[in-house]
Structure 1
Amino acid sequence: MLYLYRQQIIYITLGIAVLFAQPVMAQHYNSRVEINLSEHDSKPYYFGITIGGNSSRFHTRFHPTFLQSDSVLVAEPNNTGGASLGLSATVRLSNRFQFRFNPQLFFVDRSIRYVLSYPDPSSFNQTEVTKKVESVTMSFPVHFKFQSDRIGNFRVYTLAGIKGDIDMASNARAKRAEQLVKIEKNDWGPEFGIGFNFFFPTFIFSPEIKISNGIRNIHARDQDLRFSNVIDRIQSRMIVFSIHLEG
């Protein structure tokens, strides 16, 4: 699975290298630039809002039933986009470390593409069918941030933490289940990423990219449903791009 996130891992590694290279650069540069929000680093805490987009998909593991199935030939997750909106509260622990609580509301539309042996009457007799799973998820991530020295009005940071998710549109108990891939309500997993602070006179603009993966099997498998019984496990995979506006 590492090759799927190769580019993101490279960016994060480069960011860590920049963190350790910055102290000498910062001392030289800060003496020549007007520093915005110069008292911000002494604040014990601060707040912000978050807007973002994401690319998400399911990570699936087939059930042995898939090899025995005479109706489903392929079950392949698709990458899809989504959006998010949230708040943030950050507590200063030291010059280098901060703790952040960043609850967000995610609007996600994931799907699985099926190739069938026989035409599906419910899909206009097509042999290729895409089943969508719409989610409105409340995510509650907590992060530890490790930040560099400021270079003028710029700073880089890395983050690592854990999240808990509640899917408010979960269809695990849906009665019209034949045409659905049913997903459980709760999930949790690790997050890690990199971000950048740009200090303006009245606020901080912070673009950020992170990998957010679910660990729990969220598939509510039903042996009697053909779109469900060929899949054993489903886990969430997401790359999130966020913009934090903080003060």
Structure 2
Amino acid sequence: MQHLLRRKIIYVLVGFILFASEGFSQSEVELNMPDYDQKRMHFGINLGWNKSHFNFTHHPQFLNQDSVMVVESINNTGINLAWLVHLNISDHFAIRTFPLDLTFSEKAFEYSLKYPDLPGGETPVTIKKVQSISLSLPVQLQFSSDRIDNFRVYTIAGVKADLDLAANAGKKNADDIIKLKKFDYGVEAGLGFHLYFPYFVLTPELKVSWGLSNLHSRNQQLKYSSNIDKINSRMISFSLTVE
């Protein structure tokens, strides 16, 4: 399902790029904001939609018990809100960061239980949700193509550090959920394009993020936590930036 979702998003983005290039690359197009790319620094507001899930590994204990039969990570949607700072270092390269980058997301695990505690509220298929409000600090290197009239394509690659403001690893009364640590770091890559209008630049972008830190605060006494070893975050996002 995740591969199909990514493929659909990529098809939509590629189609949008082709459509935009047709509209912005006619023979007699008025050049909007012709000096925009000569400016040393740009600022923008970014609003996005994300699809996130956990990538995890089973703990060896999973094979030695019979209460949890299957554990799966579920895709969930969220939103991103960020402030962009863009610094040109050459005609084709730039450094980007987001001093204020908030990501609201919800991830979940689905457990198939052989012996659910029905009086305790469990069902044969039990879902445990983990809400997240992350404050991120990414640093990205951007490589841009030459401008074609009012259209320009670019790619990005970078690193980021995340602080989850809603992390529950320190909570004492949260023994029935998966506990996660506050800090994470990872890498990301993406593709986007600039559309130049008379008074602003609109930038659609598709980005994929891979968390590298093990977020799991494991408790071997709890069946929801003991059967999972490492947990890493994964996210794919589509955003629009107005500069």
Cα RMSD, aligned residues only: 2.4
What is the Cα deviation at residue 104 of structure 1? 1.2
Could you give the per-residue CA deviations for residues 145-164 of structure 1, whole angstroms, max 9, x where no partner exists? 10011111111100000111
Closer/same/farther in 2, CA of residues 96 and 62 from structure 1, 3 Å limit: same
Do structure 1's residue 124 and structure 2's residue 159 form an aligned pair?
no
Do structure 1's residue 175 and structure 2's residue 172 form an aligned pair?
yes
Q: C-alpha separation between the residues in 2 aligned to 1:152 and 1:30?
A: 8
Closer/same/farther in 2, CA of residues 151 and 122 from structure 1, 3 Å limit: farther
Alignment of 1:168-247 (within 5 A): 168-246=165-243
What corresponds to 2:137 in structure 1? 140
2:215 corresponds to which letter in structure 1? I
Q: C-alpha separation between the residues in 1 aligned to 2:175 and 2:97?
A: 39
1:77 corresponds to which letter in structure 2? S
Q: C-alpha separation between the residues in 1 aligned to 2:57 and 2:5?
A: 19
Q: C-alpha separation between the residues in 2 aligned to 1:122 and 1:153?
A: 63
Structure 2 residue matching 1:67: 3-state secondary structure: helix
Query: Which of 37, 40, 50 is equivalent to 1:44?
Result: 40
What corresponds to 1:154 in structure 2? 151
Q: Is the 8 A contact 1:167 1:186 kept in 2?
A: yes
What is the Cα deviation at residue 122 of structure 1? 6.1
Closer/same/farther in 2, CA of residues 122 and 197 from structure 1, 3 Å limit: farther
Alignment of 1:15-164 (within 5 A): 32-102=28-98, 103-121=100-118, 124-164=121-161
What corresponds to 1:25 in structure 2? none
What is the Cα deviation at residue 34 of structure 1? 0.9
Structure 1 residue matching 2:62: 3-state secondary structure: helix
What is the Cα deviation at residue 32 of structure 1? 2.8
What corresponds to 1:26 in structure 2? none
Q: Which runs of 5 or more residues in structure 1 are unaligned?
A: 23-28
What is the Cα deviation at residue 7 of structure 1? 3.4
Structure 1 residue matching 2:213: 3-state secondary structure: coil
Count of aligned pairs: 233
What is the Cα deviation at residue 127 of structure 1? 1.3
Q: Is the 8 A contact 1:204 1:245 kept in 2?
A: yes
Q: Is the 8 A contact 1:58 1:237 kept in 2?
A: yes
Q: Which runs of 5 or more residues in structure 2 are unaligned?
A: none
What is the Cα deviation at residue 10 of structure 1? 7.3
Using the size of structure 2 for normalisation, the TM-score is 0.89
Closer/same/farther in 2, CA of residues 9 and 242 from structure 1, 3 Å limit: closer
Q: Is the 8 A contact 1:123 1:129 kept in 2?
A: no
Q: Runs ≥4 in structure 1, deviation > 6 angstroms?
A: 8-11
Closer/same/farther in 2, CA of residues 128 and 189 from structure 1, 3 Å limit: same
Could you give the per-residue CA deviations for residues 164-184 of structure 1, whole angstroms, max 9, x where no partner exists? 100000000111232110000
What is the Cα deviation at residue 80 of structure 1? 0.4
Q: C-alpha separation between the residues in 2 aligned to 1:184 and 1:81?
A: 21
Using the size of structure 1 for normalisation, the TM-score is 0.87
Q: C-alpha separation between the residues in 2 aligned to 1:40 and 1:113?
A: 49
Q: C-alpha separation between the residues in 2 aligned to 1:94 and 1:122?
A: 65
Matched-pair identity in % = 43
Q: Is the 8 A contact 1:136 1:168 kept in 2?
A: yes
Structure 2 residue matching 1:126: 3-state secondary structure: coil
